[in-house]
Amino acid sequence: HTFTHAITRAPGISVTKGLRAVDTGAPDLERFRAHHQDYVEVLRSTGAKVTVLEPLEDYPDAVFVEDTALCLPEGAIVMRPGAPSRLGEAAAMAPVLRKFYGDVLAIEGPGFIEGGDILTTEREILVGRSARTDGAGIEELRGLVSRWGYAVREVETPEGVLHFKTDCSLVDEETILATERLAASGCFEGYRVILTGEGEEAAANSIRFNDLMLVPAGFPKTAERLSNAGYEIREIGNSEAARLDGGMSCLSLRF
Ligand code: CIR
């Protein structure tokens, strides 16, 4: 699968107020911007057209665009974030998506679902229930994507983990990078699984984008495993997004 596009949003000043499970201090805005620019450059280096949207100061977490939509080849679906402070971000993404897609659908509720809980593979769409994504949100998504022939499979996000994809990422059509705690749930049966290195759970939120694998910097064991498996690695600084429980996948919509 080749990605021709990515949508990102530059971090705004308000990013220092972003949601976080554990407070390790506010992210440093300048460093966050520098990491974000590196990220955009690497996506662009694959030949994709990368849109960088202006910051949305009213939404401190708006840099994490992945949670606002699901982008499939057939159309896009605007999500309904379970974090009340993030609902408006999804609405702001809808007009952007209409520039790229003829078909833009939306989760209307009452359920909730965030993009970070959705892993799309060649054969199915896995959705993790989490503190942000509930059964009603998953059912509504199932109803919407069935028109395009996708099967949705509901899975569990490990306890205390923000999103399903905090702990996994798609490496190729049959290979998933995952933490041991998530893989142990058995949800990846039938796929090849590469485990993150010991103590490197945070490396699971990586992305494969065209011929590159974007991995957060500082996880050498995982980077080596991926590199040994034949993937070309690009390490991107993620220290500031990590303070807000964000990683490589959260920072873009890819299609
Ligand atoms: C939040 O709590 O919503 C943000 N601080 C982090 C969102 C990370 N997004 C993702 O994993 N897809």
Q: Whose CA is nearest to atom 2 of ligand 1?
A: 19
C-alpha closest to that of 50 among 94, 96, 118: 96
Q: What digits encode the pLDDT tens for the residues 93-148?
A: 999 999 999 999 999 999 999 999 999 999 999 999 999 999 999 999 999 999 99
> What residues pair up with 36 in beta bridges, in sequence order?
none
Q: What digits encode the pLDDT tens for the residues 178-232?
A: 999 999 999 999 999 999 999 999 999 999 999 999 999 999 999 999 999 999 9
User: Which spans in the chain are helix H?
Assistant: 29-45, 87-98, 135-145, 180-183, 220-228, 239-242
- Half-sphere exposure in the Cβ direction for 128 (13 Å, CA): 29
Which sign does the torsion angle of CA 176, 185, 158, 119 carry?
A: positive
5 is catalytic: no
- Answer yes or no: are the C-beta atoms of 190 and 112 closer than 8 Å: no
Residues comprising the binding site for substrate? 19, 61, 66-67, 86, 132, 244
Q: How far apart are CA 38 and CA 8, in angstroms?
A: 12
What global pTM score does this model have?
0.97
Q: 131 CA to middle of ligand 1, Å?
A: 11
> What residues pair up with 125 in beta bridges, in sequence order?
120, 152
Cβ(81) to ligand 1 under 6 A? no
User: Which spans in 18-134 are helix H?
Assistant: 29-45, 87-98
C-alpha closest to that of 171 among 119, 125, 237: 119
Indicate which atom in ligand 1 lies nearest the CA of residue 162: 11
Domains of the chain: 5-254 (3.75.10.10)
**Residue at 62: amino acid letter:** A
Cβ(19) to ligand 1 under 6 A? yes
Indicate which atom in ligand 1 lies nearest the CA of residue 81: 3
Residues 114, 117, 119, 125, Cα dihedral to 10°? -80
Residue range 152-168: mean pLDDT, rounded: 96
Q: What digits encode the pLDDT tens for the residues 12-40?
A: 999 999 999 999 999 999 999 999 999 99
Cβ(83) to ligand 1 under 6 A? yes
Q: What digits encode the pLDDT tens for the residues 39-91?
A: 999 999 999 999 999 999 999 999 999 999 999 999 999 999 999 999 999 99
- Answer yes or no: are the C-beta atoms of 193 and 175 closer than 8 Å: yes
Greatest alpha-carbon pair distance for the chain in Å reads: 45
Say which of 35, 36, 163, 187 is annotated catalytic: 163
**Residue at 131: amino acid letter:** A
| pLDDT value of position 79 | 98
163 is catalytic: yes
Cβ(167) to ligand 1 under 6 A? no
Residue range 158-166: mean pLDDT, rounded: 95
The answer to whether residue 1 scores a pLDDT higher than 90 is no
Q: Whose CA is nearest to atom 9 of ligand 1?
A: 250
DSSP character string of 192-214 = EEEEPPTT-GGGGS-EEETTEEE
Cβ(82) to ligand 1 under 6 A? no
Q: How far apart are CA 105 and CA 112, in angstroms?
A: 15
In the block, tokens 């998506």 appear at: 97
